[in-house]
Amino acid sequence: MRHPEHHIFQFTPETLGHWCAERGWPSFRAKQILDWVYAKGIGDPLAMTNLRPAEREQLKAEVAFESGPTVAHQRATDGTQKLLIEWADGERETPDTSLPVLGSTGDASRQTECVMIPAESPENRERKTACISSQVGCPVGCRFCASGLGGLDGNLSAGRIVEQAWRLGRLPDVGRITNIVFMGMGEPLANFRAVTHAVRTLAAPWGMGIGARRITVSTVGMHKAIEKLAEEMELPITLALSLHAPNDELRRSLIPWAEYTSIEQLFEACDAWFQKTGREITLEYTLLGGVNDQESHARELASVAKRLRANVNLIRYNEVGGLEFKRPETGDVRRFQEILRERKVNVHIRASRGRDIAAACGQLRHEAQDA
């Protein structure tokens, strides 16, 4: 079966308007279609009753709405839900060959996982966070993360990035997605063009309508890309840097891509981000039992973190089958946090959500047998 050439979530009002005009449709059709999709959550053109019957048929034939089947849908005991989506052929961004790549870049897999995380507390029950992927697999190859075990199989288009959030919002008992985190599979800034396009759609009033301050882009650290993001991103999104170690030597043993940059370069880029946007950086630090969770590491991290206007999120390692790393003890995590607080660092321990369905940080994969 031939897959439609166009994708509804790739369109902007302008490009969809051009598409409608080429078919001789009224100029207001684009606004109506986008309203059906984003405001009403309708993904079936035949249900768009203010379009002419012939227009509905043509829209269905020429534009994809859901561009691949859901292979698996899992629900955790804490209410977290995970989707494994298998994308149809075509509509992929071309990988940036100027970036270092680890592992496969072929077509071994077309699957990605995305996660809906509900609020932890009843007081904030309206909060629904979509954790979405930007790539099929991941090129970074962090030693402790499941997402990069098979390497990179390709970049997702902006439309498919947005579609993940839209599909998560249509799950039973979910409703409106309020927050977005680019913390799923892939390195967002290695798919720069598609991710920035997707961010604008997610934040747009005609799109998902999610406030930019509720959108977080997480990067393992590409200082040139961070600088470029500061120059080109006009929206006040949150930037999160996956640090995971307080010094270059340890960081490079955990993150292969850290060979291409230094903490000093990353912090200079993050400082430029703050100077341009006024938005504090979030430093993400995954605690690996016996590896980077010692008191000496906490003191060193405090010294490093205080150089930036930054918040620190501590993440207890979530186990990945076949990897040697261990989840740290609760007492060690608390002591690590105390040392940072004693040194006036704003630090929080992030709760692990969806661990029982392998939906927590670092556990997402891109192969059906691992779901």
One-character DSSP codes across 213-243: GGEEEEES--HHHHHHHHHH--S--EEEEE-
Residue 123 has pLDDT above 90, yes or no: no
For residue range 129-152, list pLDDT tens digits in order.
999 999 999 999 899 988 878 889
Residue 8 has pLDDT above 90, yes or no: yes
Higher pLDDT, 355 or 343: 343
Residue 217 has pLDDT above 70, yes or no: yes
Distance, in Å, from the CA atom of 326 to the CA atom of 44, rounded to the nearest integer, reads 46
Looking at 75-84, 88-97, 108-117, 348-357, which range is the least confident one? Answer: 88-97
Distance, in Å, from the CA atom of 199 to the CA atom of 220, rounded to the nearest integer, reads 18
Q: Known catalytic residue: 361?
A: yes
Six token digits for residue 170? 């249509």
Q: Cβ-count burial of 180 within 10 angstroms (0-12 exposed, 13-18 middle, 19+ buried)?
A: buried
Amino acid at 328: P
**Selection from 66, 107, 104 nearest residue 83 by Cα:** 66
Percent of the chain with pLDDT strictly greater than 70: 89
3-state helix, strand, coil in the chain (%, to 5): 35, 20, 45
Q: What is the pLDDT of residue 360?
A: 58
* Strands 92-93 vs 111-118: parallel, antiparallel or unpaired: unpaired
Q: What is the pLDDT of residue 358?
A: 67
Mean per-residue pLDDT, 235-247: 97
Residue 103 has pLDDT above 50, yes or no: no
First to last CA, the chain: 26
Mean per-residue pLDDT, 307-317: 93
Q: What is the pLDDT of residue 371?
A: 37
Q: What is the pLDDT of residue 186?
A: 95
Amino acid at 358: A
Q: Known catalytic residue: 113?
A: yes
DSSP 104: B
| Predicted TM-score of the model (pTM) | 0.91
Mean per-residue pLDDT, 35-42: 97
CB–CB of 158/194 below 8 Å?
A: yes
**What confidence tier does 363 reach under pLDDT thresholds 50, 70, 90?**
low
The strands making up 81-86's β-sheet, listed across from edge to edge, are 70-75, 81-86, 111-118, 128-131, 179-182, 215-219, 238-242, 281-287, 310-316, 347-350
Q: Which of 93, 113, 163, 187 is catalytic?
A: 113
Domains and CATH numbers, the chain: 6-64 (1.10.150.530), 70-370 (3.20.20.70)
**What confidence tier does 1 reach under pLDDT thresholds 50, 70, 90?**
very low
Distance, in Å, from the CA atom of 21 to the CA atom of 29, rounded to the nearest integer, reads 9
Please give the radius of gyration of the chain, using alpha carbons only, rounded to the nearest integer. Answer: 21
Mean per-residue pLDDT, 7-13: 97
